[in-house]
Structure 1
């Protein structure tokens, strides 16, 4: 990831998006993972909110994004 990121920075702007999993119970562990990915060049993290009952899904969306700063 880092070598690809370095090569791309020389040519044109781009974004790297990762995600696809739900937030764990350990938010600090999730933040540490997101921070390591950001340091490697990832610019977007998309959290997965699994299909379920409407109230549970709303809670997942309403809590907002997990931030590393």
Structure 2
């Protein structure tokens, strides 16, 4: 899904909104985001009525590239 728009909502575990934007995927199909370290997040990405949700964290040793989200 190259250079397509997605609605991205990311909240931390306290419910603070970190990202609430429409973002365009890059030429490689990825969306590049930087999140504060040492926190847990709820990520929701939507496009054309489909969505993907993921709980993730940014602690040392956590994955820095998430490639498993699929819109359903």
TM-score, structure 1 as length reference = 0.32
Relative contact order, higher structure (CA 8 A, sep 6+): 1
Higher helix share: 1
